[in-house]
């Protein structure tokens, strides 16, 4: 579904991404991890052409994304940004309905099918009860769910998420990760940056580790979380414990190494 070929991106004279190559299979949750500044957000923005790569290319469904029109691309891939803030008074329903715009021709209004898609997106994200609320009144967790609903309304097969659980409490974080699992069951492909390593290990099928703009590891989740790799990438000492639910958890056990 998604192939990244020798992608590089520079900003302000700094190489942010360096010769990135990876291939992501459909119908899976692909996790993207790495320290702050490693290039995770920049990579996601290059995939959906918010940013344009200096070198290399991104292929989606076998097509070069650079050759696709913006509207068509928006119907294939949708990005849910980190810490969303909408500062103008619009209802949740209207915001989610904006997800249908890539499918509309100029001056065309939404039809019955579009409205049904919006309803399904609201129900899938449990945001139906918020439909008349202004988005400026939402909590962080509610706002994330609403933006995921808008992404679903595009009917894009590839959904990109930039740390969707950052700054959320445990309950909201788990709700969003479990929603991603449900979307995977529906055939969606998820590529998400994850700040919580335990969530990444628990929910993701593959892991891409970025370090200083380069791929440090790319492959199955089971092989990604070695102590040596994590300490090298994050520059802290890690330990592993087994909790009462018999789920291995990672935690920082010391200072910088």
Residue with tokens 């979307």: 183
CA atoms within 13 A on the CB side of 6: 2
Residue with tokens 């628990």: 202
- State the pLDDT at residue 84: 67
The pair of structure tokens assigned to 112 is 């019955």
CATH class held by domain 2-225: alpha beta
Name the residue ranges covered by the structural domains of the chain.
2-225, 226-257
- How far is it, in rounded angstroms, from Cα 166 to Cα 121? 22
Q: Is the pTM of this model over 0.85?
A: yes
- How far is it, in rounded angstroms, from Cα 46 to Cα 33? 16
The pairing of strands 29-33 and 189-193 is parallel
- State the pLDDT at residue 257: 42
Task: Say whether 33 sits in a helix, a strand or coil.
Answer: strand
For the chain, the 3-state helix, strand and coil shares in percent, each to the nearest 5, are 40, 30, 30
Model pLDDT for residues 28-55, shown as the tens digit of each residue:
999 999 999 999 999 999 999 999 999 9
- State the pLDDT at residue 256: 45
Confidence of residue 106 (pLDDT cuts 50, 70, 90): confident
Model pLDDT for residues 189-219, shown as the tens digit of each residue:
999 999 999 999 999 999 999 999 999 999 9
């Amino acid at each position: 579904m998604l192939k990244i070929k020798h992608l590089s991106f520079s900003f302000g004279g700094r190489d942010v991404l360096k010769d990135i190559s990876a291939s992501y299979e459909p119908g899976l949750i692909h996790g993207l991890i790495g320290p702050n500044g490693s290039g995770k957000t920049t990579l996601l923005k290059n995939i959906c052409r918010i940013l344009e790569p200096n070198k290399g290319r991104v292929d989606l469904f076998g097509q070069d994304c650079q050759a696709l029109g913006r509207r068509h691309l928006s119907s294939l891939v949708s990005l849910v940004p980190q810490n969303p803030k909408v500062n103008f008074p619009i209802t949740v329903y209207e915001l989610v309905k904006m997800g249908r715009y890539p499918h509309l021709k100029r001056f065309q209004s939404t039809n019955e099918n579009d409205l049904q898609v919006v309803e399904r997106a609201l129900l899938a994200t449990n945001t139906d009860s918020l439909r008349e609320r202004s988005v400026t009144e939402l909590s962080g967790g509610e706002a994330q769910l609403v933006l995921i609903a808008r992404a679903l309304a595009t009917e894009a097969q590839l959904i990109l998420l930039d740390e969707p659980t950052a700054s959320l409490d445990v309950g909201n974080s788990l709700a969003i990760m479990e929603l991603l699992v449900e979307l995977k069951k529906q055939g969606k492909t998820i590529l998400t940056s994850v700040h919580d390593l335990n969530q990444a290990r628990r929910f993701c099928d593959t892991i891409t580790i970025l370090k200083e703009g380069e791929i440090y590891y790319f492959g199955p989740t089971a092989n990604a979380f070695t102590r040596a790799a994590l300490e090298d990438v994050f520059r802290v000492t890690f330990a592993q414990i087994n909790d009462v639910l018999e789920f291995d958890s990672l935690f920082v056990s010391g200072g910088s190494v």
